[in-house]
Amino acid sequence: MVKKQEELKIQHLDFTQKIKDISEKVQTFKEAVDSHKRSAQAAVEHSDRIFSELIRSLHEKRAEVRELISTKEENEIGQINDHIQKLDQEISNLKRENDKLKLILHTEDHIHFFQNYSSQSGLYVCTASPGDVNDLVTFQNVEESVSELNSQLVQLFEKHMAKISKKVADVHIFKPTRLQVQDIYSTSTSESESDSELPNYSSQSGLYVYTTSPRDVNDLLTFENVEESVSELKSQLVNLCKEHMARISKKVADVQISKTSWLQDMDSPEASASYHSSDDECFFSPVLSDPEDETE
């Protein structure tokens, strides 16, 4: 009996130690759960903040593109309208000069003819060049650049969302292993005891087997890697938008109604000299027939 009591004492001490070990595991798991919850909440808040910043940045970029296009449209149309007014005035001037020439050409008074000939026979210079319409007058290239930006944004989102989903899936509180569940008692082949003083010994003297195997806390139980992936997504999106905004700005600047970057105003000597060297020279020297030749 003494031997049996010693065995039970040993088993009692073993149970006591197991209870202590498992209790410590339980406390570790509870702390891991709290840490996991805090990390999950932090990751959600971080993700919300990052995506809110991205949405705000995209709204700002949209407003920036609209402002670029509107400003360009206003400037180009303003310049062209001013130029049209000058050309309309030029047409009026030419018509007036042409009417004067008609009067002189059809006069039969030789004296009147020679009196007005000198004033009308000089070189006439236009005050504004007609210019040509540019081939690139629409914002189609700008639309294509914005569509290209959208396509690359979608691809970047898909690529990083796949990474983020994988990193979320990699977060575990338990170390990855299969949960071990065993029977409470194993079949005992030991001899049965008939001692009436130890009615419960036979049920307590067998080998105790865990119903649930104590497991370890995983090293990766927080969502820090997820936060890093979201921040990386933001960084690449910002760089992508910056790169494309530079292209869009250039393509907006390239849109011009006039072929020249500035409308030539013939009030300027430099512009006048430049225009006179072009193919479409806006001046003429009237060739008037000599009345004396007509009388011969």
Q: Give the domain extent around 163.
A: 2-173+215-286
Task: Tell me which long-range contacts 38-46 makes (C-beta under 8 A, separation of at least 24).
Answer: 39/221, 39/222, 39/223, 39/224, 40/223, 42/223, 42/227, 43/223, 43/224, 43/226, 43/227, 43/230, 46/227, 46/230, 46/231
Asked if residue 60 belongs to a domain, the reply is yes
Asked if residue 53 belongs to a domain, the reply is yes
Nearest in space to 152 (alpha carbons), one of 140, 162, 160, 142: 160
CB burial of residue 134 (10 Å; 0-12, 13-18, 19+): middle
pLDDT of residue 171: 87
Asked if residue 134 belongs to a domain, the reply is yes
Asked if residue 179 belongs to a domain, the reply is no
Return the biggest CA–CA distance within the chain: 166
Does the predicted model carry a pTM greater than 0.75?
A: no
Q: Give the Cα separation of 266 and 277 in Å (integer).
A: 13
When divided into structural domains, the chain yields a total of 1
pLDDT of residue 260: 58
Asked if residue 198 belongs to a domain, the reply is no
Nearest in space to 225 (alpha carbons), one of 3, 42, 22: 42
Asked if residue 180 belongs to a domain, the reply is no
pLDDT of residue 5: 80
Do 10 and 194 meet the contact criterion of CB atoms below 8 Å apart? no
pLDDT of residue 209: 59
| Other residues' Cβ atoms within 10 Å of the Cβ of residue 98 | 11
CB burial of residue 94 (10 Å; 0-12, 13-18, 19+): middle
pLDDT of residue 144: 94
CB burial of residue 71 (10 Å; 0-12, 13-18, 19+): exposed
Asked if residue 194 belongs to a domain, the reply is no
**Residue 281: CB partners within 8 Å, gap ≥ 6?**
275
pLDDT of residue 183: 38
Nearest in space to 139 (alpha carbons), one of 257, 258, 260: 257
Asked if residue 231 belongs to a domain, the reply is yes
Low pLDDT (below 50) residues in the chain: 178-203, 261-296
